[in-house]
C-alpha cells in the first residue's frame, strides 16, 4: 500500500505541498526552539563552572550572579579568616551590572583581589585567556574582559575601553565559554576590587566572598551556614537550582509554544487528510467494493500522512541548522557558519519522533473515517 500512497500523493501535489509545508514549519519551529534550549542548557554548564568547588558567601536570598548582594568588607575579612576557608585561594568580590548605551544586554563589573582571578574563572570548561590572566602588578585601570565585552567594545589585548566614564586598558580577554550564548563570565569586566569599590562608589562594601574550602565543601557549607544563619552560603547545587529554575520558566514558555505549533500542525494535516478522504470517498468505496480490507484502507491513509510528514520533517530538519545559526547571530553569537549542519543527536531523535507522531496522529481520524465509509453510499457519491 505504500506504493499506492506514494502514487496517490504525487497525483495530488497541491494538497501534498500544503501538508509538507505545514510539517516543515512545525519541525523548523519546534526543532529550533529545542535547539536553542539545548544550547542554553549546555551553555549554562559554563556558568556552573564558575562556582564548581566553591562557595559564595552572600546576603540571604541573592542567588547567582550575586550582584544583588551587599555585605561589609569587614564581614568579608572575618569570613576569609575562618578555619573552613582557604585564604590563599578565596577572594572578596564585588559584582555590579552596568548598562551601556552602545549595545544591548548587560556588562558585569567584577572586582576581585588581584591574584585571585582564577578563583572566579577556574573550573570553567575550556577556559583560556588571551594576554594576561592576572591583575597582579598592574595599574588600577587594567582589566581582563570576557569575550562578549570584547566584542561589544571591539576590544583587543592592549586596547583601551571606556566604561562609566573611566578608561581601562585591556590586558587579557577570556575566550568564549559555552557555545555562543552569552554567559556571566563572557559579559564580565574583571578589575581590582579596590578600584571597583571606588568607581561604583561602594567603599568597604563587597557582594560576596568566593570561598575555596580548606577541606570538604559540604562540611564548610554547613559550618559557615551555622555560624552566619542570616547569610546565604551559595554552592554549586544552589547555583544549578537557580539556573535550572530560570531555565525551567523559559522551558515552560518554549514548550507551550512547541505544543501549540504541534497541535496546529496535527490539526492542519488532519484537515487536509480529511479533505483527501472526502475527495476520495468514491475511490475508497470502489476499493471496498472490489474487496480491499478496512485495515488496508486504514494503512493507505496513514502511510500517506506519514510520507507527507516525513518529507516535511526532513526539509524542516535540513533548514533547522541555518535557522538556528541565524537566530544565534541575532542573539549575539560571534562565530556562525551557515553551511554547518549541527543538530545534536537528542534533538534529532526528538524531532523524528515528533514527525512520526504528527504523521500517525493526523492520519488516524481520517483513516478511521475512511474505513467507516459504506461502499454502497460511496459508489453513489459524486
Positions that interact with another protein (CB under 8 A): 1, 4, 7-8, 10-12, 282-283, 285-294, 296, 375-376, 379
Least distance from another protein to the Cβ atom of residue 366, Å: 17
List 301's β-bridge partners, or say none.
Answer: none
Least distance from another protein to the Cβ atom of residue 379, Å: 7
Report the residue number, 92 or 288, with the smaller CB distance to another protein: 288
Least distance from another protein to the Cβ atom of residue 103, Å: 58
Least distance from another protein to the Cβ atom of residue 378, Å: 10
Report the residue number, 183 or 287, with the smaller CB distance to another protein: 287
CA distance 46 to 240: 11
List 166's β-bridge partners, or say none.
Answer: 163
Q: What is the DSSP string of 223-235?
A: HHHHH-TTEEEE-
CA distance 337 to 211: 40
Report the residue number, 229 or 291, with the smaller CB distance to another protein: 291
Least distance from another protein to the Cβ atom of residue 359, Å: 19
Query: Nearest CA to 18 among 302, 278, 276?
Result: 276
Handedness of CA 196, 199, 204, 208 (dihedral sign): negative
Report the residue number, 199 or 272, with the smaller CB distance to another protein: 272
Least distance from another protein to the Cβ atom of residue 4, Å: 7
Report the residue number, 100 or 296, with the smaller CB distance to another protein: 296
Least distance from another protein to the Cβ atom of residue 125, Å: 56
Of the CA atoms within 13 Å of residue 286, those in its CB half-sphere come to 7
Contact between 71 and 206 under an 8 Å Cβ cutoff? The reply is yes
Report the residue number, 107 or 281, with the smaller CB distance to another protein: 281
Report the residue number, 177 or 370, with the smaller CB distance to another protein: 370
> Hey, what's the cell of 211?
570561598
The answer for 284, left when phi > 0, alpha when psi is -120 to 50, beta otherwise, is: alpha
Contact between 228 and 85 under an 8 Å Cβ cutoff? The reply is no
Q: How many CB atoms lie within 10 A of CB 271?
A: 15
Amino acid at each position: 500500500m505504500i506504493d499506492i500512497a506514494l502514487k496517490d500523493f504525487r497525483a495530488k501535489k497541491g494538497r501534498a505541498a500544503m501538508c509538507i509545508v505545514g510539517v516543515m514549519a512545525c519541525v523548523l519551529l519546534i526543532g529550533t526552539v529545542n535547539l536553542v534550549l539545548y544550547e542554553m542548557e549546555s551553555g549554562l554548564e559554563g556558568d556552573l563552572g564558575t562556582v564548581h568547588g566553591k562557595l559564595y558567601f552572600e546576603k540571604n536570598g541573592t542567588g547567582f550572579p550575586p550582584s544583588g548582594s551587599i555585605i561589609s568588607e569587614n564581614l568579608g575579612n572575618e569570613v576569609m579568616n575562618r578555619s573552613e576557608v582557604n585564604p590563599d585561594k578565596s577572594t572578596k568580590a564585588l559584582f555590579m551590572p552596568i548598562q551601556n548605551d552602545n549595545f544591548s544586554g548587560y556588562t558585569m563589573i567584577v572586582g576581585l583581589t588581584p591574584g585571585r582571578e582564577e578563583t572566579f574563572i577556574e573550573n570553567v570548561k575550556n577556559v583560556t585567556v588571551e594576554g594576561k590572566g592576572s591583575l597582579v602588578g598592574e595599574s588600577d585601570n587594567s582589566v581582563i574582559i570576557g569575550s562578549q565585552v570584547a566584542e561589544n567594545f571591539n576590544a583587543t589585548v592592549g586596547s583601551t575601553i571606556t566604561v562609566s566614564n573611566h578608561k581601562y586598558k585591556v590586558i587579557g580577554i577570556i575566550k568564549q565559554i559555552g557555545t555562543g550564548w552569552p554567559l556571566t563570565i563572557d559579559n564580565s569586566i574583571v578589575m581590582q576590587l579596590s578600584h571597583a569599590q571606588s568607581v561604583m562608589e561602594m567603599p568597604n562594601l563587597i557582594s560576596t566572598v568566593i570561598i575555596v574550602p580548606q577541606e570538604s565543601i559540604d562540611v564548610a557549607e554547613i559550618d559557615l551556614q551555622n555560624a552566619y544563619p542570616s547569610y546565604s552560603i551559595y554552592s554549586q547545587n544552589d547555583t544549578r537550582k537557580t539556573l535550572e529554575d530560570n531555565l525551567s520558566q523559559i522551558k515552560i514558555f518554549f514548550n507551550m509554544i512547541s505544543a501549540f505549533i504541534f497541535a496546529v500542525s496535527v490539526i492542519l494535516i488532519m484537515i487536509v487528510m480529511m479533505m483527501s478522504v472526502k475527495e476520495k470517498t468514491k475511490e475508497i468505496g470502489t476499493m471496498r467494493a472490489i474487496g480491499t480490507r478496512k485495515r488496508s484502507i486504514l494503512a493507505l491513509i496513514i502511510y500517506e500522512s506519514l510520507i507527507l510528514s516525513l518529507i516535511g520533517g526532513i526539509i524542516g530538519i535540513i533548514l533547522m541548522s541555518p535557522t538556528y545559526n541565524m537566530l544565534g547571530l541575532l542573539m549575539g553569537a560571534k562565530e556562525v557558519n551557515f553551511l554547518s549542519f549541527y543538530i545534536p543527536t537528542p534533538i534529532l531523535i526528538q524531532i523524528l519522533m515528533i514527525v512520526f507522531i504528527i504523521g500517525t496522529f493526523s492520519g488516524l481520524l481520517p483513516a478511521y473515517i475512511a474505513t467507516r465509509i459504506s461502499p454502497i453510499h460511496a459508489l453513489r457519491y459524486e
